[in-house]
Amino acid sequence: MDLATNDVVEANMQEKLSSERSILIVEDDHSFLQRLAKAMESRGFSVATAESVADGLLQVERNAPAFAVVDMRLGDGNGLDVISALKHRRPEARAIILTGYGNIATAVTAVKLGAVDYLAKPVDADDVVAALLAQENVKVAPPENPMSADRVRWEHIQRIYELCGRNVSETARRLNMHRRTLQRILAKRAPR
């Protein structure tokens, strides 16, 4: 197949994907999952959700969606397994990985397994849609009003605090900080 024919085939696949707006969201943070699902529905997507790798794999097996948003670390395993299964069942599907624990090695692995982007949490629905619908080799513009570093830190601390069952001592231990320092941070309002 020559280069021009390949471009036409790819354009047809992109057009088919953009007309079919089925999306699978795999996320173990229930409240974030519900907010993102509602936001994606309001943007015209037909949403299916899963809260574990096992549920995500089952959803992919039943009906492989055109798009997927998958959390990297889930309670029962690695979200990359869902991406891999989706790309096996539907090679043209576009998927992104969400994570609160970003690093270069996992980003490279995600892209090698077929993810089109890798977004650090917290993320909003507009960023997700922009990443999913971005054309190949076109960089998405940076957000107009990104979160401050203080806000990102605060969000991370809140997430760990919730995962530890709102136990201050356990959260402080996992974050490697003094318990009183953590208590002061938790008592303050969220930074902008």
pLDDT of residue 12: 47
In angstroms, the CA 74 to CA 145 distance is 29
pLDDT of residue 174: 92
Give Cβ neighbours of residue 66 (< 8 Å, ≥ 6 apart).
17, 20, 21, 22, 23, 90, 92, 93, 94
Q: Is omega for the bond preceding 91 within 30 degrees of 0, making it cis?
A: no
Low-confidence stretches of the chain (pLDDT beneath 50): 1-6, 8-18
**Spans of all domains in the chain:** 3-133, 149-187
pTM summary value: 0.62
As a CATH number, domain 3-133 is: 3.40.50.2300
CATH 1.10.10 holds for 149-187: yes
pLDDT of residue 14: 46
pLDDT of residue 141: 62
pLDDT of residue 103: 57
